Amino acid sequence: MEKRSKGVNIKNLSKIYIGANNNEFKAVDNISVDIRPGEFVTLLGPSGCGKTTTLRMIAGFEIPTMGEIYLGGDKINDLPPDKRDSAMVFQSYALFPHYNIYDNIAYGLKLKKISKDEIKNKVDNIIELVGLKGMENRYPNQLSGGQQQRVALARALVMEPGVLLFDEPLSNLDAKLRVYMRTEIRKIQQKVGITAVYVTHDQSEAMSLSDRIIIMNKGIIEQVGTPKEVYYTPKTEFVADFIGTANFISATIDSVENGIAEVSICGKKMSIPYKGDKKGGSACKLVLRPEAVEIGREGFLEGKVTLSTFMGSYQDYVVKVGEEEVKIQHNNPQVKEIFNEGENVKVSFSPYNVHII
Ligand code: ATP
Q: Ligand 1: which residue has its CA nearest to atom 19?
A: 48
Task: Give the pLDDT of residue 3.
Answer: 54
Q: Ligand 1: which residue has its CA nearest to atom 21?
A: 27
Distance between Cα 293 and ligand 1 center (Å): 38
> Which CATH topology does 245-356 take?
OB fold (Dihydrolipoamide Acetyltransferase, E2P) (2.40.50)
* Nearest-atom index, ligand 1, CA of 45: 6
Domain with CATH 3.40.50.300 in the chain: 8-240
Average pLDDT score over the chain: 93
Assigned CATH class of 8-240: alpha beta
pLDDT tens digit sequence for 294-325: 999 999 999 999 999 999 889 999 999 999 99
Q: What are phi and psi of 229, to 5 degrees?
A: -60, -45
Three-state SS across the chain? CCCCCCCEEEEEEEEEEECCCCCEEEEEEEEEEEECCCCEEEEECCCCCCHHHHHHHHHCCCCCCEEEEEECCEECCCCCHHHCCEEEECCCCCCCCCCCHHHHHHHHHHCCCCCHHHHHHHHHHHHHHCCCCCCCCCCHHHCCHHHHHHHHHHHHHCCCCCEEEEECCCCCCCHHHHHHHHHHHHHHHHHHCCEEEEEECCHHHHHHHCCEEEEEECCEEEEEECHHHHHHCCCCHHHHHHCCCCEEEEEEEEEEECCEEEEEECCEEEEEECCCCCCCCCEEEEEECHHHCEEECCCCEEEEEEEEEECCCEEEEEEEECCEEEEEEEECCCHHHCCCCCCEEEEECCHHHCEEC
pLDDT tens digit sequence for 27-60: 999 999 999 999 999 999 999 999 999 999 999 9
Distance between Cα 46 and ligand 1 center (Å): 11
Q: Ligand 1: which residue has its CA nearest to atom 9?
A: 50
pLDDT tens digit sequence for 103-129: 999 999 998 888 999 999 999 999 998
Q: Ligand 1: which residue has its CA nearest to atom 24?
A: 53
CA distances from 177 to 130, 144, 145, 157, 164 (A): 15, 10, 9, 21, 21
pTM for the complete prediction?
0.89
pLDDT tens digit sequence for 162-193: 999 999 988 888 888 889 889 989 998 998 89
Q: Ligand 1: which residue has its CA nearest to atom 22?
A: 27
- pLDDT band for position 328 (50/70/90)? very high
CA distances from 221 to 33, 204, 230, 239, 243 (A): 9, 19, 12, 10, 14
Distance between Cα 15 and ligand 1 center (Å): 10
Distance between Cα 265 and ligand 1 center (Å): 41
Residues 323 and 282 sit within 8 Å (Cβ to Cβ) = no
Distance between Cα 199 and ligand 1 center (Å): 13
Task: Give the pLDDT of residue 312.
Answer: 87
Distance between Cα 48 and ligand 1 center (Å): 5
Q: Ligand 1: which residue has its CA nearest to atom 26?
A: 17
Q: Ligand 1: which residue has its CA nearest to atom 31?
A: 17
Distance between Cα 240 and ligand 1 center (Å): 23
Task: Give the pLDDT of residue 351.
Answer: 96
- Of the two residues 343 and 337, the one the predictor is more confident about is 343
Report the complex ipTM: 0.94
Domain with CATH 2.40.50.140 in the chain: 245-356
Q: Which residues line ligand 1 (CB under 6 A)?
A: 17, 25, 27, 45, 47-53, 201
